[in-house]
Each structure stands twice: as C-alpha cells, then as structure tokens.
Structure 1
Amino acid sequence: MKDGEGRRRRAHKRYVDVFMRLTDEGRFDPLIVMWPDGRAFPITEVLDRGSFGPAYRGVSTARYRVRVGSHVTNLFLERHVFDATLGKPPVVRWWVEAYG
C-alpha cells in the first residue's frame, strides 16, 4: 500500500479483540472490531468468509472480507493448532493489517 506521496507503507499484524457470534452451525460471524485503544468499529456486512488454509508452522489463517461503514477491509482469524509435544493449547485470535 502507498501513502499520499507515493511511498510504500509497511504493513504489520495488529491483533484485535473481536465481538463475534458463534452460530449453531459452528460458523464465526464477526460483529465488532475493538482497536487496542478502545475504539469500536461495528461490522456492517461480511462480504466473504474464507476457509482455513493449510497450516504453516502450526498456524492456519482464514480471511474475512468485511465492510465497516463504507470501508472494505480484511479481517483474519488465526488458528494455532494443538502441539502435544510442547504442551501448548490451541489458540484462536483475530488480526488486521495495520500500517505505520
């Protein structure tokens, strides 16, 4: 992504809190994205629900294409698989691409 002066902006993962609904079918429906500073962004529409891809280093990711007001963006659901050898429990968390 480029800024207003044509320079490339560096993207990084920003983990966020997400209020979501877990349906009786087992589907995750994100409702609100909470930024770390406390701002809340209601998701007005889920445009696309991706499925989890193959795991890489024990992590698989699903991409959700969402509309927040008039802005369309990607919201990612990251799933760390259970690793019995390390004793790590499975972890699921949300992140967005942040710039700066």
Structure 2
Amino acid sequence: MQEFIERRLYKRYVTVISVNRKDGSLVPIYIIWEDGTRYKIDQIIKIINAKASEVGGVGKMYQVRIGRHIRNLFYEKNRWFVESHKP
C-alpha cells in the first residue's frame, strides 16, 4: 500500500524580468531564482485574473511553459511569486 504524503505549497517570491508593452500588458520573460539561476519563459499559455492561488493571494496568474514544465506564475500587488513545495 502506497503511503499518501501531503505536500504543502508555499508562496515563493521571485525576481522576474518582464516587458511592459505600450498597450499596458505585462509580459514575463525570465524568472530568476534566489541563487541567481535564470529560467527563460518559453511560452505564456494563458493569463487569467486569479481570485486566489492555492497558497493565497490574488492578482494575475500566468500559466507558463519553461522547457517541458508548466508553472503558475502570479503577479500580486507589484511583485511576483510561484507556488513552491519549499518555503
């Protein structure tokens, strides 16, 4: 029998390099991790006004593809965060 392990999610604030277009849209280009590693956002799959993420907070949710991985990137009150399994 496989044991169920609950994996709690945390808000992990990150640095994001983005472009603010003349039409007012905000486009994230890179996510920069705490250790300085830079991850290029290969594709923005969708942008929605999120009422709340699993870790709380409101704002815009950008579902992005980084390599083969899909992540939810949130823009909340002038800063960015991702949902992470590590605080």
When the two structures are aligned, how many residues end up with a matched partner? 80
Secondary structure of 2:49's match? coil
Aligned mate of 2:9, from 4, 8, 11: 11
Give the TM-score, by structure 1 length. Answer: 0.73
Give the TM-score, by structure 2 length. Answer: 0.83
Q: CA RMSD in A?
A: 1.9
Match of 1:97 in 2: 83
Match of 1:28 in 2: 26
Higher relative contact order (CA 8 A, sep 6+): 2
Q: Computing the radius of gyration over CA atoms, which structure comes out larger, 1 or 2? A: 1
Give percent identity, aligned residues only. Answer: 34
Do residues 47 (structure 1) and 12 (structure 2) align? no
Match of 1:88 in 2: none
Q: Unpaired segments of 5 or more residues in structure 1?
A: 54-58, 80-91
- Would you identify which runs of 4 or more consecutive aligned residues in structure 1 move more than 2 Å? none
Query: What is the identity, as a one-letter code, of the residue corresponding to 2:59?
Result: T
